[in-house]
Structure 1
Amino acid sequence: MEYDYAIQKNIKIIAFIHSNPDNIPFGKSEKDAELRQKLQEFRDKVATNRLVKFWSKADELPGLVALSLSKTIKTYPAIGWIRANETANPELYIEINDLRKENQELKEGIDLNKVTTNSLENLADYNDVIEITGKHRFWHSGYKRDVD
């Protein structure tokens, strides 16, 4: 599934296949015949239309991986192929951290306001009907009268 996903996403693949899997001791290989067949089908799939590095002894593998990875990084630069020390300016990390702290303080302030607002009694709700009584003075074109 991982291999198929990489193909689908057009991710560069470096294939390392044992040059003679029949020489691998049976105890270090797949014992179930059906699973051995699936493994062979996968090996064939990986080796088709792809650059493959074959190895026969385990001590060859680290060197092949290091050389192939280095060459792939140089040949196909991509996101993720950069060193961690080259990622961003340290000032950006400081600014991001400051913004994170400010965000946390604002969230705490919102939570504090919720507690304060919820603790007040006799506040009207959005759908509550409120009756107001009193007097006001009505003015119209110089005409004045009191209204209850």
Structure 2
Amino acid sequence: MLDKRYQVFISTSGSEMQPERMVLTQTLVGMGFFSWGLEQRTPLSTAFARRQIDDCDYVVLLLGSQYGEQSVSGVGYMHLEYIYAVTKQKPMIVFMHEDPDSRDASLQDAKPELREKFKEFRRLLQQEVDQVFCYRSLRDLELAVRFNMPQMLERYPVVGWVRPQNTQALHDEIEQLQAKVAQLKNELGKTEADPFLSLPKVSMHEAFQFEYRMHAYQDGNFKELKVQKQLTWAQLFSILGSTFIHPTPEEYFSKRMNEYLNDTGLTDARREMPRAHAVARAQINIRALHTIKMQMRQNDWIVQAGRDERQRMLWQTTAKGQKLLDSNLLDNDRVFQYKSTH
């Protein structure tokens, strides 16, 4: 197997994140990543951080409960590193503490203006970054890294780094893969082996049950709920179909489903918490989301449409799917309407 490694730039708020940073670094190293980053920042270190970001394959932001050290302009060094990484279009993933206010007071900003900056920066990351994951404990963080970093490699493939002495192994592996592709073409009579072609097609009014999580708020407190929900395939396609009329990044499957669940989840929450007055942070189970995507592909409602300039996979509604959206066949099952902008 080819020994390929990836360079990851880690950005944190400062020394108060040392335990989390150590867990993150050790986990990444164990998975074959090289980790970079600066724990102590000064005006002179900014240029060095930018060179590291230029050379890295991925950027990881680790956010606890502090805005962190600030530059002379008043913008935090972590914030500046985020802005620079965005301008360089670096694939980015964020791990943030689920409840910053619950952390020890010594780990939080003492000044009100810094606390406000932290909240604004946290909201900014939640709105702008596609891959944002929350953790509660160091163990949660380790599991989140182990689960989500391999998906980053699939969603945002990069060249990475290969040991020079392994270049011959690279050529050998390419030749082996080419031989396998040729064999599959001959055996299956098609250009690629697609394991999802074995999925049976579903009818529009057939039900699909899935799990999702959300925060439900009642009497000034919140509780995380796991909810089983059931929708027909017509309802699911009415939620997702119009989003992909034009080629759209794959991340919008989860964005649109989570928007729908946030807007409709209060009814589900009140089955367990009758006085619940609001819900937030709804997140569909990732395996269920994958099944939905592949089933709609199998039904010829959506299709892959290449990659964009950031190497994100694009999906688009097919002509068959568009006709379904334009017809009145979904009308009785429509559950939510979205704005078409994104």
- 2: distance between equivalents of 1:68 and 1:90? 27
Distance verdict in 2 for CA 1:25–1:88, change over 3 Å: same
Aligned to 2:152: 72
Kindly indicate which of the two structures has a greater share of residues assigned to helix.
1
In structure 2, the CA distance between the partners of 1:48 and 1:90, relative to structure 1 (3 Å rule), is closer
**Aligned match of 2:188:** none
- May I ask how many residue pairs the two structures share in their alignment? 88
Identify which of 54, 57, 62 aligns with 2:142: 62
Q: What per-residue deviation string (whole Å, max 9, x for no partner) do you get for residues 21-66 of structure 1?
A: 1111111222121111111111011110423101122221012112
- Where 2:116 maps in the other structure, the secondary structure is helix
Give TM-score scaled by structure 2 length: 0.24
Partner of residue 37, structure 1: 116
* 1:51 aligned partner, one-letter code: Q
Structure 2 counterpart SS, 1:53: strand
Runs of 4+ in 1 over 4 A off after TM superposition: none
Structure 2 residue runs of 5 or longer lacking an equivalent are: 1-79, 169-342
Aligned residue for 2:101, secondary structure, equals helix
Higher strand share: 2
Partner SS state of residue 66, structure 1: helix
TM-score of the superposed pair, with normalisation by structure 1: 0.53
Q: By how many angstroms is 1:91 displaced?
A: 9.0
Provide the rounded CA distance (Å) in 2 between the counterparts of 1:15 and 1:91. Answer: 33
Q: CA deviation at 1:87?
A: 3.2
1:74-129 Cα offsets, whole Å, 9 max, x none, are 2211133x4xxx3323699xxxxxxxxxxxxxxxxxxxxxxxxxxxxxxxxxxxxx
Q: What do you get for the CA RMSD once the two structures are aligned?
A: 2.1
Pairing of 1:78-93 with structure 2 (within 5 A): 78-80=158-160, 82=161, 86-89=162-165
Q: Unpaired segments of 5 or more residues in structure 1?
A: 93-148
AA paired with 1:61?
L
